[in-house]
Amino acid sequence: MPTCIIMPKMDKIATHGTIVKWLRTNGGEVRKGDVIGTVESSKASIDIEAPESGFFLQRFPVGSAVCVGQVIAYILQANESASDVELSNDEKPETFDGSVSNSVHVRKDAEKIKKRALASPLVKKLAKDLEIDLSEVIGTGISGKITKQDVTSSAERGESQKTTCEDELIPLSGWRKTMAERMSQSIRTAAEVTTIAEVDATALVNLRESLRPLEKNLQTRITYTALAVKAVAVALQEYPLVNSFLIGDNIVLKKRKNIGFAVSREEAGLVVPVVHEADKKKIVEIAKDIEDLTKKARENRLLPEDVNGGTFTVTNPGILGVIMDTPIINPPQSAILGIGAIVSRPAVVDGEVLIRSVMYLSLSYDHRVIDGAPAIRFLQRVKKILENPSQLLDNQLSDLLQTRE
């Protein structure tokens, strides 16, 4: 019987994956363990290995978006042919002439996955009258339901959204579509509040500069993001409610402090790799994790385990010069910390006006889970750690610094 190869679930939210490439042609011989293709979700890509030796038969071509768990290819034995493959009538490819060495023609495009428009009959009628495609409207009602206001707003934007032959259309698909859906989900469901704190980052800048000469010996750069991730991990141990999910009617306190950090991949989009158990790692280990994961993200080599399991997220738009922002929570997490750019400003210190390095921290949190007071205390704790960053160093690294001085 032919061996099925299915579309794997590459992360917790993935409903489908895209076939990026096949490394074998139909009828080509493969051995068990051979990499036969690559698939990707909005977060990660993964190589597909042959589960058995035999002859390869693809079910969907490159570029197809296929539901998780659906068969994407088969391994046939020498006495088997395409006629042995059981497919539903609407997805059945043209069969072989009996030999696996001959080519087969499979369906060129997987059936598009469309969400069902959630709207009342009245709203559907209004959309029809206004010539609005409900599948293109993001619902702001309960559970994503499309409201009358959503339709009328879409209609009002209609003229500005009309395209001409001079315009370029970029499909909202893949990672961008997933990100749009998750951010919309966050805004619809979370009672999101953002609190901002000013940090005197002078000591942080001095520490960062003192660590630069050690980078070759440490074999990594200890960046501001790494220092912030470590500071957050320390603070989460004292404020566990910030490291929680709201699942149904239960608040789930996550024991592991798995800190995600946002990485911009230019045209490839934003992705959030995860430093697992950051509270148990030294700052050098965190820095190496961030460096390795960032490289993998920008080369589109992230694996499912690299992006799954996050319990809190840090985003650093400051590297692009942004002073502060109001980051959106990454569901099902309950909080996210934004880090602003470090700038030099005059400040009053012990009655004197001095030039200090200053940055802003923006904590967005779900008020359904975290009250204002504990959220502010957590933010103040992170602020205090970053203003006194030497406590983030382990004894060995501290000794290296003292020796160099």
- Would you name the residues annotated as active-site residues? 367, 371
Strands 16-22 and 35-40, bridge-based pairing:
antiparallel
The span from the CA of 347 to the CA of 17, in Å, is: 52
Radius of gyration, alpha carbons of the chain? 26
The span from the CA of 140 to the CA of 187, in Å, is: 9
Going from the C-alpha of 304 to that of each of 8, 9, 289, the distances in angstroms are 10, 8, 15
Specify whether the CB–CB gap between 267 and 321 falls below 8 A: no
Question: How buried is 390 (Cβ within 10 angstroms: 0-12 exposed, 13-18 middle, 19+ buried)?
Answer: middle
The span from the CA of 227 to the CA of 295, in Å, is: 18
| Token duo for residue 4 | 């099925």
- What is the sign of the dihedral through the CA atoms of 348, 350, 353 and 357? negative
Strands 312-315 and 259-261, bridge-based pairing:
parallel
